[in-house]
Amino acid sequence: DWNIEDFITNKVSEIKDVVKDQHVILGLSGGVDSTVCAALLHKAIGNQLVCIFVDTGLLRKHEAIEVLKNYEVFKDLNIIKVDAKEQFYQALKGVKDPEEKRKIIGRVFFEVFEQEKEKHNYASFLAQGTIYPDVIESLSTNGGKTTIKSHHNVGGLPKQSTFKILEPLRELFKDEVRKVGFELNLDETLVNRHPFPGPGLGVRILGEIDESRVKILQEADDVFITLLRKHQLYEKVSQAFCVLLPVKSVGVMGDNRTYENVLAIRSVDTTDFMTATFSRLPFEFLEEVATTIINKVEGINRVVYDITSKPPGTIEWE
Ligand code: XMP
């Protein structure tokens, strides 16, 4: 049987033993996994930890500001923001294949951490908030024939990397990570945030990514999430987001024909994120979301609701 206090005590001593007097870089995303990972490492090694928040250019609207604000409560946690937008956009230019996108994003994250290394006492460790489902879904199933999807932070370091990896949450499920977070006195708003994948909007813009599509998706997603909060639905669903499709459809606005992008909205209920059902959101609410998005967000003239559960769908579309 799993005991939270024992888990924390054991991990803290394990981390101390492994790290000794060296320094650790942690990729902090603002999500629950990396936040709990930060809290655990901080408890173990204090200021030998430096957290790096990477602005990938694939974040949600206001994400960078909100995330950093959320961490203001941790007075003595070292957090550094790195703007790597151009690096990500450049590397993703022209790429359409979902797995290829995921691999590129994973690689650029490592490159950014390598670039930061020398500024932070040549940290020898790279810590990541990888959890158990990330590991299994990235590994191959049915005898090694297929990977479901390569999580951006799984699959090991590039060959030339000099980091050693620390993944203290690797055996945990999401609900267990949250329990550890509460036990470490983390704030409810941090612990109960919906998950946001490391590759961010990169796997929610199907097909090729460019800055103008990022902007469209950021605006639409902001409308959806704001309305969920306004109607007290945000806490009721496990994860909600928008997906920008590489498809255009015909519409009519006023007296004019439109020919614009289709947006899918997705909301799921789950505890472990290994299986999920689509949220039974009220039709009136969905209607308000669709109307508001189409009126406010230039570039979208049709909104559809994803009613696929997992399996057979995955939560993200790529
Ligand atoms: P899927 O799409 O596999 O998603 O059903 C399950 C959960 O994992 C999140 N997800 C990721 N998180 N890096 C992450 O940190 C990734 O590469 C990644 N891919 C999916 C997804 O948002 C959902 O919560």
Q: How far apart are CA 77 and CA 85, in angstroms?
A: 24
CATH code, domain with 259 = 3.30.300.10
User: Which structure tokens are listed for 190?
Assistant: 């941090």
The rounded Å distance from CA 118 to ligand 1 centre is 30
pLDDT of residue 145: 59
Annotated binding site for ATP: 29-35
Q: Are residues 30 and 137 in the same domain?
A: yes
- Asked, for residue 198, whether it belongs to a domain, the answer is no
Report residue 247: phi and psi, to 5°.
-135, 140
pLDDT of residue 140: 60
Regions in the chain scoring below 50 on pLDDT: none
Q: Are residues 173 and 238 in the same domain?
A: no
Residue nearest to atom 24 of ligand 1 (CA): 195
Number of folded domains that form the chain: 2
Q: Are residues 62 and 169 in the same domain?
A: yes
Q: Are residues 154 and 287 in the same domain?
A: no
pLDDT of residue 297: 98
Q: Are residues 178 and 295 in the same domain?
A: no
Got the DSSP string for 89-137? HHHHTT---HHHHHHHHHHHHHHHHHHHHTTTTT--EEE----HHHHHH
Burial class (CB in 10 A: 0-12, 13-18, 19+), 94: exposed
Residue nearest to atom 20 of ligand 1 (CA): 197
Q: What is the pLDDT of residues 150-162, one digit of tens each?
A: 888 776 677 778 8
Find the Cα–Cα–Cα–Cα dihedral 107, 108, 109, 115, rounded to 10°.
110
**Residue list, ligand 1 pocket, CB within 6 Å:** 102, 137, 149, 151-153, 195, 197-199, 239, 273, 310, 314-316
ipTM for the whole complex: 0.99
User: Which structure tokens are listed for 35?
Assistant: 């936040």
H or E element: which one contains 214?
helix 211-230
Residue type, 247: V
pLDDT of residue 83: 97
